[in-house]
């Protein structure tokens, strides 16, 4: 096999890392959707809601899908999209290195691998936006305005990044 340069390796691993981070953001968004839309009610105490978030946050994307399916209330297009995405996520996380290691040594196959991984990252982003929109729409039905959501999000972000 041909040697692989550090730049060629970096190109692939950077794309893998970016896709994994996109998937992690998606997972957090699906957790928020599951808890805000299907678990928590306006009368639930903050501590109980935080416990729901902590528990759901330990779930894999496939486990989150099963929990959403169990509610029997999620829009079919979200279920279908998530159900289609889970195998992509699983391939990237569990099989991509083993199944694609030889692709690294061919510029054509490496470019195809990078494109496949980039598509997974793009799909994660699109799915994240769909779940975010569904969560926001649900919160608005409860009388929580978009402005309030943005204000609370900015406050939370400020708390997370304080001292950074």
Chain segment 45-80, per-residue pLDDT in tens: 878 888 898 999 999 999 999 999 999 999 999 999
111 found inside a domain: yes
65 found inside a domain: yes
95: pLDDT strictly greater than 90: yes
Joined tokens for residue 125: 């982003």
Residue 72 region by backbone torsions, left for phi larger than 0, else alpha for psi between -120 and 50, else beta: left
1 found inside a domain: no
10 found inside a domain: yes
User: Which pLDDT score is estimated for 164?
Assistant: 67
1: pLDDT strictly greater than 70: no
Q: Is 125 exposed, middle or buried (0-12, 13-18, 19+ CB in 10 A)?
A: middle
11: pLDDT strictly greater than 60: yes
- Give the total number of structural domains in the chain: 1
Confidence tier at 2 by pLDDT (50, 70, 90): low
In whole angstroms, how far apart are CA 50 and each of 31, 36, 54, 115, 160? 12, 11, 6, 38, 16
- Provide the percentage of residues in the chain whose pLDDT is more than 70: 98
Mean pLDDT of 5-27: 95
User: Which pLDDT score is estimated for 58?
Assistant: 94
Taking every pair of Cα atoms in the chain, the longest distance, rounded to a whole number of angstroms, is 63
Mean pLDDT of 94-99: 96
Joined tokens for residue 20: 């994994």
152 found inside a domain: yes
Mean pLDDT of 8-26: 96
Domain with 119, as residue range(s), is 6-161
Task: Residue 103: name the closest of 7, 9, 6 by CA.
Answer: 9
More confident residue, 126 or 149: 126
Q: Is 162 exposed, middle or buried (0-12, 13-18, 19+ CB in 10 A)?
A: exposed
In whole angstroms, how far apart are CA 48 and each of 25, 37, 54, 60? 23, 15, 10, 21
95 found inside a domain: yes
């Amino acid at each position: 096999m041909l040697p692989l340069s550090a730049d060629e390796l970096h190109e692939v691993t950077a794309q893998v890392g970016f896709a994994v981070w996109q998937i992690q953001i998606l997972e957090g968004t699906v957790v928020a959707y599951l808890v805000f839309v299907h678990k928590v009610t306006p009368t639930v105490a903050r501590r109980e809601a935080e416990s729901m978030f902590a528990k759901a946050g330990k779930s894999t994307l496939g486990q989150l899908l099963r929990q959403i399916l169990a509610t029997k209330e999620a829009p079919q297009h979200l279920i279908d999209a998530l159900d289609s995405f889970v195998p992509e996520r699983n391939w990237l996380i569990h099989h991509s290195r083993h199944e694609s290691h030889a692709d690294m040594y061919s510029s054509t196959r490496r470019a195809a691998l990078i494109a496949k991984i980039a598509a997974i990252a793009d799909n994660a982003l699109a799915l994240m936006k769909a779940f975010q929109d569904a969560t926001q729409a649900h919160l608005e039905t409860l009388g929580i305005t978009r402005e309030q959501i943005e204000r609370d999000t900015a406050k939370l972000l400020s708390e997370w990044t304080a001292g950074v």
